[in-house]
Amino acid sequence: MTKAANKRQMNSAARLYAVQALFQMESSGQTVEAIGREFEDHRFGATYEGDEMAEGNLDLFRLILENAVNWQAKIDQMTDRALVAKWPIARIDPTLRALFRAAGAELTVGETPPKVVINEFVDVAKAFFPDGREARFVNAVLDHMAREARPEAF
């Protein structure tokens, strides 16, 4: 695997882990520090029942988690504006809520081009919802959020 392909794979894994961590934080009530440590110690590159977990970009994982927590109110408001009025963020699936928070964190403070962030998180949605329409929904919501967060990129 080329160095660039390996970096992309590590970034993709970090985004997937960040969504899982944010979901776990919300459902368990644990702190970002506790969840971050758990993922770093027991998920990144770990082997379970013969299956090796992907190695993730630790810096990107930490950036997403930290900023999703620090900017949660702003990100949730951006998400609410992107959703139709009948579907406030509190009513959507908790996995999608975690995904929107992770993507919103990267769109708000990250340096990755918005189109890359959108494509990456649409892929994450496909991993969680392989048979559903959620990927198209995620694409539309994230496109709206990206245009609000970084209008200069469009």
> Could you read off the pLDDT tens digit of each residue along the chain, which spans 154 residues?
798 888 999 999 999 999 999 999 999 999 999 999 999 988 887 777 777 777 899 999 999 999 999 999 999 999 999 987 667 777 889 999 999 999 999 999 878 999 999 999 999 999 999 988 899 999 999 999 999 999 998 8
The answer to whether residues 58 and 44 touch, using CB atoms and an 8 Å cutoff, is yes
Residues 111/68/97/114 CA torsion (nearest 10 deg): -10
Q: Which domains does the chain have, with CATH numbers?
A: 3-149 (1.10.940.10)
pTM of the model: 0.91
Nearest CA among 44, 39, 22 for reference residue 128: 22
